[in-house]
Amino acid sequence: MIQYRFGVEGDLTAPSDDRLTVGDPRVIDFLSKLARKLLAPAVARRHPELGSLGFFLRPAELHRTVEHMRSRDALVFPRGNVFHIPPANVDTIFVYSWALSALAGNHNVVRISERSATAADTILTALNEVLADADPVIARTQRMITYGRDDKVTAALSQWADLRVIWGGDSAVEAIRKHPLRPSARDLTFPDRTSWAALSADGWRAADPAKRRAAVLGFTNDSYWFDQAACSSPRTVFLVGENTDDVRAEFVELLLSMVGERGWEIDAAMAVEKRVNAYGMAATGAISAMEFPANSVTAMSLITVPDAPRRWIGAGAFPFAEVGSLLELVPAMNRQDQTFSHFGFTSEQLREFALALGGRGVDRIVPFGQALTFGSIWDGYDLPREFTRLTTLVE
């Protein structure tokens, strides 16, 4: 059974006579009003992550994105029908994916996980409130639905789609790909990713206390907002420089303080799981020492960079490894790596690192505090352009 949570009920596989254009004013008006809902102080206090989403949907940002879509040496049109399967562990991803596709003029169906948390419910409430006064074409072309494990529904929507957007990791991609698309359609996939953080010892020591504190606040938000389970949340911290014990000690001390001030809590079950995973890494010879200063923070000392875990090992679990320079990390990076957040490096050092990678790994290099900031270029995809199609015209 399908439960409709936004839009109207109807045959989702039937073609619609409604036509939207790239940058359709009716869609821009709808998304702009949604942004105002999400930026309301009461909403931002309950769900700070929705403030970033609201900023992303502001009119100025929307017009900038549309301009980017249209800046082609061809005629630009919507891709058609788009079926989105977002993850359950990051409540806001479905809006970014859907909003860019709607802005491109597509008809969209978004499957909302039944395991989505309260932030998703807040978004859906806001969507329905804005829908009440929106142009009726929005309800006829944009659908948010939930349904259980029903292969028939997924198969039908896959046949309907011109583009299928699959989030959620390798297993999700493999499961959905069992349902064939039409020959003219294609997938846009977001499989398992790993993200890292790097801290320059020289840059840390040169920074004043306020800048150090601001850096740790940004790192805290990057790590704890989605229990460190988001694809762009850092898993391992690389300390770049020599004799970095003092830097690590102050960093962990500030992290403990910041986690307490922000009210992030790790329950006893998660603390036990982290401890089990830490002892498991010790048993394999990956780490030489571990610290458990609080349930909220587990710090481990990696023996070598290749020992850095690529799987999630618990909220607030941070292996540390010391390297002499960013370039020493290049051999360890691969296609699975997404976000590399940093503090204390010069522009030249970061650029040298990116050029040395040569596109073999790492799609985003951003400062602490911006790891979770969604951008229209994500996982190496230029999403606004992925959601459109081109027609060449030679006169």
Q: Report the DSSP beta bridge partners of residue 364.
A: 339
What number does CATH give the domain 3-192?
Answer: 3.40.605.10
Using alpha carbons only, what angle is made at residue 100 by residues 94 and 106, rounded to the nearest 5 degrees? 100
Count CB neighbours of 263 within 10 A. Answer: 7
Q: Outline which parts of the chain fall under CATH 3.40.605.10.
A: 3-192
Alpha carbons 350 and 362: distance in angstroms, whole number: 12
Q: Per-residue pLDDT for 213 more than 60?
A: yes
* pLDDT at residue 15 in the model: 46
What number does CATH give the domain 194-367?
Answer: 3.40.309.10
* pLDDT at residue 268 in the model: 83
Rg over CA atoms, the chain:
22
| Average pLDDT for the chain | 90
Q: Assess contact for 237 and 195: CB atoms under 8 A.
A: no
* pLDDT at residue 13 in the model: 43
pLDDT digits (tens, 9 = 90+) for 152-163: 999 999 999 999
* Per-residue pLDDT band at 117 (split at 50, 70, 90): low
Q: Per-residue pLDDT for 84 more than 80?
A: yes
**165 token code pair:** 């957007």
pLDDT digits (tens, 9 = 90+) for 293-330: 988 899 999 999 998 998 888 889 999 999 999 999 99
pLDDT digits (tens, 9 = 90+) for 225-261: 888 888 899 999 999 999 999 999 999 999 999 999 9
* pLDDT at residue 314 in the model: 84
Pick from 8-17, 74-83, 212-221, 268-277: least confident = 8-17
Count CB neighbours of 23 within 10 A. Answer: 18
Between 271 and 234, name the one with better pLDDT.
234
pLDDT digits (tens, 9 = 90+) for 1-18: 344 444 434 444 444 468
Alpha carbons 139 and 215: distance in angstroms, whole number: 43
Between 61 and 51, name the one with better pLDDT.
61
Alpha carbons 202 and 190: distance in angstroms, whole number: 35
* Per-residue pLDDT band at 222 (split at 50, 70, 90): very high
* pLDDT at residue 17 in the model: 62
* Per-residue pLDDT band at 66 (split at 50, 70, 90): very high
* pLDDT at residue 116 in the model: 66
Q: Outline which parts of the chain fall under CATH 3.40.309.10.
A: 194-367
Q: What is the rounded average pLDDT of the residues 42-54? A: 82
Q: Per-residue pLDDT for 215 more than 80?
A: yes
- Looking at mean pLDDT, say which of 24-28, 38-42, 189-193, 266-270 comes out highest: 24-28
Q: What is the rounded average pLDDT of the residues 187-191? A: 93
pLDDT digits (tens, 9 = 90+) for 120-179: 888 889 999 999 999 999 999 999 998 888 899 999 999 999 999 999 889 889 999 999
Alpha carbons 110 and 103: distance in angstroms, whole number: 15
Pick from 117-121, 197-201, 349-353, 383-387: least confident = 117-121
User: pTM for the complete prediction?
Assistant: 0.86
pLDDT digits (tens, 9 = 90+) for 356-393: 999 888 999 999 999 999 888 998 899 999 999 999 99
